[in-house]
Structure 1
Amino acid sequence: MLTFSLAQVSAGAGSVVDYGLMVCCRQLLGFPLFWAIAIGGVVGAIINFTLNRYWTFRSSDPKAGYTSSLKGQLLRFALTVAGSILLKYLGTYALQRYAGVDYKLGKLAADLVVSVLFNYTLQRFWVFRRAPK
């Protein structure tokens, strides 16, 4: 439960940056929704990875017994982020297009679902997986 809570704090920090950049790119710079979500998602993911590696999962500690090196974790994390951005975009787009929900609210809803069900699961059991004892 502690790991889940720490992961949610890390995700929250990344999400604040992600959301702020998305709105800025969309509203101020006029970017298409996909690119606004992608830019915010990448920058938010960098914050999230850093917090998760050094704080939530403490996988930078060689004694912690993780199965992947930094390179392996980065590759797995990048694949997770790509899937996450796509799912968040599709959720946001579907809510906007088919339910008439403003993209800013739709993004919050999509973020919540994707972060808990997709991101946490993959980060916990794939990206920052511990070696069996």
Structure 2
Amino acid sequence: MLTYLKAQASSIMASATDFGVTIIAVNLFGLWYLAASIIGTISGGVFNFYVNRKWVFQSQSKDVKWQVFRYILVWLGNLAIVTSGVFILTHFFNLNYVIAKVVSSVLTGISYNYIMQRQFIFTS
């Protein structure tokens, strides 16, 4: 249970990074919301890998390259799911891109990220 709670805390911090970068990219730099969402997702993903490896799952594996490879595979799935969700919710349902990103990210986090990280990336 503690690992799950730490993973959720890490996810919240990574999401804050992701959303902050996304909002800044749109509002300050005028990027298209989907491009900004991708950049934000990359930023949050890098943050999340580091925190999960060191703090959440306390990985002792010396083979960091293999973990990075597996993380990238899972993260690409996350990127595709979240970006598709943001596009669908903004384009077809006229939701604000921030709300669309929150909905897509929360649903993906609950249904995909924790399970894949626990079972596939940071296995003991």
Please classify the TM superposition score into its range, dividing by the shorter chain length: over 0.9
Secondary structure of 1:129's aligned partner = coil
C-alpha distance in 2, partners of 1:55/1:13? Answer: 13
C-alpha distance in 2, partners of 1:106/1:94? Answer: 8
- 1:98 aligned residue: 92
Secondary structure of 1:74's aligned partner = helix
Write out per-residue CA displacement over residues 24-62 of structure 1, whole angstroms, 9 at most, x where no aligned residue.
111221212222111111111111111100110000x25
C-alpha distance in 2, partners of 1:77/1:107? Answer: 21
- 1:44 aligned residue: 44
CA positional deviation for 1:119: 1.0
- 1:118 aligned residue: 112
Alignment check: 8 A CA contact 1:37 1:85 kept: no
Letter in 2 for 1:12: I
- 2:57 aligned residue: 57
Instruction: Count residues with an aligned counterpart.
Output: 124
- 2:101 aligned residue: 107
Matched, 1:2 2:10: no
1:20-31 correspondence to structure 2 within 5 Å = 20-31=20-31
C-alpha distance in 1, partners of 2:74/2:33? Answer: 20
C-alpha distance in 2, partners of 1:30/1:71? Answer: 35
C-alpha distance in 1, partners of 2:5/2:70? Answer: 22
- Structure 1: runs of 5+ lacking an equivalent: 63-67
Write out per-residue CA displacement over residues 93-126 of structure 1, whole angstroms, 9 at most, x where no aligned residue.
1111222211111100101011121111110100
TM-score (norm 1): 0.87
- Structure 2: runs of 5+ lacking an equivalent: none
Letter in 2 for 1:41: T
TM-score (norm 2): 0.93
Write out per-residue CA displacement over residues 67-102 of structure 1, whole angstroms, 9 at most, x where no aligned residue.
x82111001111111111111111111111222211
